[in-house]
Structure 1
Amino acid sequence: MEKIKLYSNLVSPPGRTVQLTAKAIGLDLEFHSIDILSNEQLSEQFIKMNPLHTIPVIGDSGTILYDSHAIAIYLIMKYAPESTLYSQDPAKQAKINAILHFESGVLFARLRFMAEIVREASDMSEIPRDRLDYALKAVELLEALLMDKYLAGSHMTLADISCMTSFSNMDCFLRLDREKFPKVFAWFERMKEIPGYWEINQAAIDQFGDLIRMIFESNKKKENRLYE
């Protein structure tokens, strides 16, 4: 079988959701890195695949899909329909879907809202307080959602994978207080045990931290040149 092609970037939380989902169900993806800092996602070739010019995108024997949740559900339904990552029971499936909407509409959206400023900043102190508070509120909501070991019940689902990738980027930004969010960090430690966590997610977080420092240093140099 021809490998499914994944077009993404290692530091992208949605892209890692697809990678970790594939890992969990035993799928081997062919990874194609998209350089988002140089706006490769705006190229004519990429826009032909995804008019919204977002990552991730997959190509599976002629089927092109974008949006990490849609991709992950597709992969499970097609290649591992019995997987407990995405229940076939309507009520359980609805609960997973609700958390997925929370991830895209709140958790990832507020991460992105904060990250937009970082590209132009030279220090975290330059991030407006309202954006930081907005991100922190999302983590408070995540804490409230954890009424069991996992977000949709007693076992891990796609909802957990999706939220974990965004949360880990947010924690890298904010250096969150573990004592303030005990349920979130207990859940996060459990998520570190899933297949592929260290080589996919943690490797990305390490790179993400380096990227933030690189952006800050680059912007500081630009500012200094203005005053020379």
Structure 2
Amino acid sequence: MEKIKFYSNLLSPPGRTVQLTACAIGLDLEFHSVDVLNNEHLSEEFIKMNPQHTIPVINDNGRVFYDSHAIAIYLISKYAPKNSLYPQDLIKQAKINAILHFESGVLFARLRFLIDKVREATDMSQVPQDRIDYVLNALSLLEALLVDKYLAGNEMTIADISCSTNIKLLGKT
């Protein structure tokens, strides 16, 4: 079997979600670095794979997928369908999916909103307080979801992996 080609950047939280998911299910990916700072994701070749020109992207024997959540679910469903990271139970999946939507639509979006200003600043005092508060609110919302051992129950799922890669981003700022 040919290795799945994985296009991402080591600093990308969505990319790390795919890497950690693949590792957790024992899947070895063929990593291809995409230098977003030098606009490699805007090349004609990359846009043919992903018209949204976002990372990560995988190519599994000619089948191309993008969006970290879609990729993680695909990898588990195809290569480890009985794995508890994304259980087959529809109720558990719905809970995981809700957290994944929260992660992309709230947590990741707010972190990007803050990180952009942090990168521009020469001093943290230049970062607008409203952006910091916006992220702190997202973290409070995330904490409210943690009513069990993990975000979606008593076993780790891709919701935990995905959210944790974003929180790790805070350690880089």
* TM more than 0.5: yes
Partner of 2:67: 67
Q: Which runs of 5+ in 2 are unaligned?
A: none
DSSP-derived class of the 1:153 partner? coil
**Take 1:95 and 1:164, find their aligned partners in 2: how far apart are those partners?**
17
Partner of 1:42: 42
Q: Which runs of 5+ in 1 are unaligned?
A: 174-228
Q: Does 1:137 align with 2:137?
A: yes
**Take 1:93 and 1:135, find their aligned partners in 2: how far apart are those partners?**
26
Please report how far the alpha carbon of residue 32 of structure 1 lies from its aligned counterpart in structure 2 after TM superposition.
0.6
Aligned pair count reads 173
DSSP-derived class of the 2:11 partner? coil
Please report how far the alpha carbon of residue 172 of structure 1 lies from its aligned counterpart in structure 2 after TM superposition.
3.5
Moved >3 Å (runs of 4+): none
**Take 2:165 and 2:142, find their aligned partners in 1: how far apart are those partners?**
13
**Take 2:118 and 2:54, find their aligned partners in 1: how far apart are those partners?**
19
TM-score normalized by the length of structure 2 = 0.97
Partner of 2:149: 149
Q: Deviations over 1:155-200 (max 9, x none)?
A: 1001000000011112433xxxxxxxxxxxxxxxxxxxxxxxxxxx
Q: Which residues in structure 2 correspond to 1:206-225 (within 5 Å)? A: none
TM-score normalized by the length of structure 1 = 0.74
Paired amino acid for 1:37: L
Q: Deviations over 1:95-128 (max 9, x none)?
A: 0001100100111111111122233222222211
Paired amino acid for 1:159: A
Partner of 1:110: 110
Q: Does 1:89 align with 2:89?
A: yes
Q: Does 1:124 align with 2:163?
A: no
Paired amino acid for 1:111: L
Partner of 1:192: none
Q: Deviations over 1:122-156 (max 9, x none)?
A: 22222111111101111111111110110001110
**Take 1:101 and 1:43, find their aligned partners in 2: how far apart are those partners?**
28
Paired amino acid for 1:16: R
Partner of 2:79: 79
Partner of 2:159: 159
Specify whether residues 107 and 134 from structure 1 end up closer, same or farther in structure 2 by C-alpha distance, changes over 3 A only: same
Specify whether residues 70 and 2 from structure 1 end up closer, same or farther in structure 2 by C-alpha distance, changes over 3 A only: same
**Take 1:165 and 1:25, find their aligned partners in 2: how far apart are those partners?**
17
**Take 1:37 and 1:112, find their aligned partners in 2: how far apart are those partners?**
15
Partner of 1:211: none
Q: Deviations over 1:33-66 (max 9, x none)?
A: 1111111111111111111111000010000110
**Take 2:125 and 2:42, find their aligned partners in 1: how far apart are those partners?**
30
Q: CA RMSD in A?
A: 1.0
**Take 2:7 and 2:124, find their aligned partners in 1: how far apart are those partners?**
30
